[in-house]
Structure 1
Amino acid sequence: MPVSRRTLLAAAALAPLGARAARAEEPLIRRSIPSSGETLPAIGIGTSRRYEVAPTPEAVAPLKAAVETFVRLGGSVIDTAPSYGTAEDVLGVIFSETGLRDRVFLASKVDTRGRADTLAQFERSLKRLRTDRLDLVAVHNLIDTAENLAVLRDLKAQKKTRYVGVTVWRDGQLDDLEATMRRETLDFIQVNYAIDNRTAAERVLPLAADKGIAVMINVPFGRDRLFKAVQGKDLPPVAKEIGCASWPQFFLKYVLGNPAVTCPIPGMAKVSYVEDNVAAARGKLPDAAQRKQMEAFIDAV
């Protein structure tokens, strides 16, 4: 991540040691998958960009340490995709070296057209990830949605995946996402949502709650937009009220303050990022009034 993130984390390290230890002892917040009742820790790892490295020991080592720390701290959700370069290969190496596959809720995607190509892509993902099944497979960016969902439902019936869904990552896709949610039976959606980009909260998140669809949140930091906006600024008083020790926690607690959200999936390529982000899923979350204060602060920077 950019220097701004490192600077913000350095400031967070100045928080009293006792307070940080107390937060670490609190259990992770968990959210339900409505279609099954299964609960997940309310924080995950997204692997776009950060895990697109050569699958060599040197390049994989810091990512392996991040995943090990994530699972040790109680996390389980890891999201990837065939289109994320080498990310699936890198995760496969990590799972083979650590034996952590069975402790991870592993999600990937399909983005091809036609049944044969989609099945072939799914099988390649299994091979790259060194596993025989996935926990969630989603139609990436609503590509050939009806046909691909039919394929994924067949895979679910064969117990090669436990859940199916669809994904988007930009506001221009939200109308189509909403139409798909109304038309199809889905276990999950993945959508973009951040404190400075609240469009999804107007219709998509309420619809997900009404339809009983779990929600993963991508780009919760606005692809580093938010870090740049607050660099050099102190956390506002409301941050202390909800136990935030850093700006990343502030941004993630805002997202988790929406009860329709199941799990944000920020990129976490270093142990320090994992420790910081996972802490956002512990302790207090902002109520409606506090969320308004948080929005007002960010809108003004």
Structure 2
Amino acid sequence: MTHGLLSAHLTRARFLRLLAALPAGAVLPSFAQQQPTQPRPKMTTTKMNTRPIPSTQEALPVIGCGTWIGFDQRPGTDEYRRLPGVLDALFAAGGTLIDSSPMYGRSEETTGELLAATHHLQQPPQPLPENKAFLATKVWTSGREAGIAQMEQSFTRLRTRRMDLMQVHNLLDWRTHLATLRGWKDQGRVRYIGITHYTASAYADVEAVLRAEKLDFLQINYSADAREAEQRLLPLAAERGVAVIVNMPFGGGGLLRRLRDKPLPAWAGEIGCTSWAQVLLKFVLAHPGVTCAIPGTGRAEHMADNAAAGAGTCGDAAFWRQHAAGIAS
């Protein structure tokens, strides 16, 4: 069973009741010791859309959460105390995918702590719900034994016995790691396997691996101002039955920063957008080859705003032919 999260909104009063119910000498997990100082954002009641993972037809919610930078935080900091609200917002909106990597500093460890802490605060502890969190991480090293050691560490940090998705990060020693992962998939240790990259200069290599190997997932960059993946990779992934996770849907952050202070165009309301972040995410999701986008954030209000882009319509090809060029320029 996938280790996920039983989401809890802890008021001060409820926290004190839980504290009183614990046996003497009990040690609370670090999450419980550091309650957020800011109120959680109001959560949406509209559940997000899902799309099928081609290799199994399992439904995957279209917005997830990336953990680069945002989750690389240590207990005791204000940034760490905000993170439970990020997961609350993701799950409340119907999202499940949390993507991490051993190259993201402390992000895997932080994610595991937050997921486990909320579970342990249930009185009595409740079974971890299957498929509540879709955990994805990566292997990013060379050599079979080094790869196995790193992936075992990821299992430990994320506190799970089975990983939903393990990806070869930036194609580093991909032949070696895919051989290991196929064996682990047969054993049930991982559910899906895939590859990742984030730069157009690597697209030829990514294409070659997609053509040569049987994969479940491709994670790649795609945004309104970086559309090279439309040319070959997204159509090829669809042809090969590979789910696509989009990283950097905001153009690496630069595009969103440039747009943030500009007025939202009237046409954004036609697809239900109330922010530029939602516009950029709906552009990405409008491509039929995209399965899920994973904007990264360490703030609950941003996660809630991002997740709202997963509901309703994304606009058709004609809509974006009319408006996408104006966004990028």
TM-score (norm 1): 0.89
Pairwise CA distance, 1:227: 1.9
Matched residue, 1:223: 252
Unaligned 5+ residue runs, structure 2? 1-41, 120-127
Instruction: Please state how far the C-alpha of 1:119 moved relative to its aligned partner.
Output: 0.9
Give the one of 50, 53, 65 matched to 2:85.
65
1:15 matched to which residue of 2? none
Name the amino acid aligned to 1:106.
L
Verify the 8 A CA contact 1:26 1:283 in the aligned structure 2.
no
CA shift at 1:284, angstroms? 1.1
Whether contact under 8 Å (1:55, 1:93) holds in the other structure is no
Superposed displacement of residue 26, structure 1: 3.4
Q: Higher helix fraction: Structure 1 or Structure 2?
A: 1
AA of the residue aligned to 1:42: V
Quick one: distance in 2 between partners of 1:34 and 1:186? 10
Q: Match for 1:273: what amino acid?
A: H
Q: For residues 328 and 110 of structure 2, what CA distance do their matches in structure 1 show?
A: 38
State yes or no: 1:96 paired with 2:125: no
Contact conserved, 1:95 with 1:101, CA < 8 A, in 2? no
The alpha carbon displacement at 1:53 in A equals 1.0
Aligned to 1:295: 324
* Match for residue 150 of structure 2 among 117, 121, 134: 121
SS, match of residue 236 in structure 2: helix
**Stretch deviating more after TM superposition (29-38 or 236-245):** 236-245
| Offset from partner CA, 1:187-240 (integer Å, 9 cap, x none) | 000000000110011110000111100000001111221123224322223211
Match of 1:211 in 2: 240
Q: 1:45 to 1:299 in 2, by over 3 A?
A: closer
The Cα offsets for residues 250-296 of structure 1, whole Å up to 9 and x where unpaired, read as 00000000011010000121110111000000011110111112212
Is 1:132 the counterpart of 2:156? The answer is no
Note if 1:54 corresponds to 2:74.
Answer: yes
Structure 2 partner of 1:200: 229
Note if contact 2:44-2:92 (Cα within 8 Å) is conserved in structure 1.
no
Instruction: Spell out, residue by residue over 1:50-104, the C-alpha distance to the aligned partner (whole angstroms, 9 max, x if none).
Output: 1111144754221112112211221100000111000011011101111267410
Q: TM-score, normalised by structure 2?
A: 0.81
Query: Partner of 1:8 in structure 2?
Result: none
Tell me which residue corresponds to 1:27. 47
Query: 2:283·2:320 contact (CA, 8 Å) conserved in 1?
Result: yes
Fraction of identical pairs, as percent: 43
Contact in 2 for aligned 1:236/1:297 (Cα 8 Å): no
8 Å contact 1:55–1:86 — kept in the other structure?
A: no
Query: Which residue does the alignment assign to 2:198?
Result: 169
Distance of 2:164 and 2:77 partners within structure 1: 27
258-267 vs 287-296, greater mean Cα deviation: 287-296
Tell me how far apart the structure 1 counterparts of residues 217 and 114 of structure 2 sit (CA, whole Å): 25
CA RMSD, 1 decimal: 1.7
Aligned to 1:209, what secondary structure does the other structure show? helix
Q: Report what 2:94 is aligned to.
A: 74
Q: Is the 8 A contact 2:45 2:92 kept in 1?
A: no
**AA in 2 matched with 1:204:** L
Q: Which residue of structure 1 lines up, in the alignment, with residue 306 of structure 2?
A: 277
Unmatched 5+ residue regions in structure 1?
Answer: 1-20
- Is 1:261 the counterpart of 2:300? The answer is no
SS at match of 2:251: coil
Pick from 226, 229, 233 the counterpart of residue 262 of structure 2. 233
Indicate which of 132, 151, 171 corresponds to 2:180.
Answer: 151
Residue aligned with 1:223, SS: helix
Aligned length: 279
Q: Output the CA distance in 1 between the equivalents of 2:328 and 2:151.
A: 42
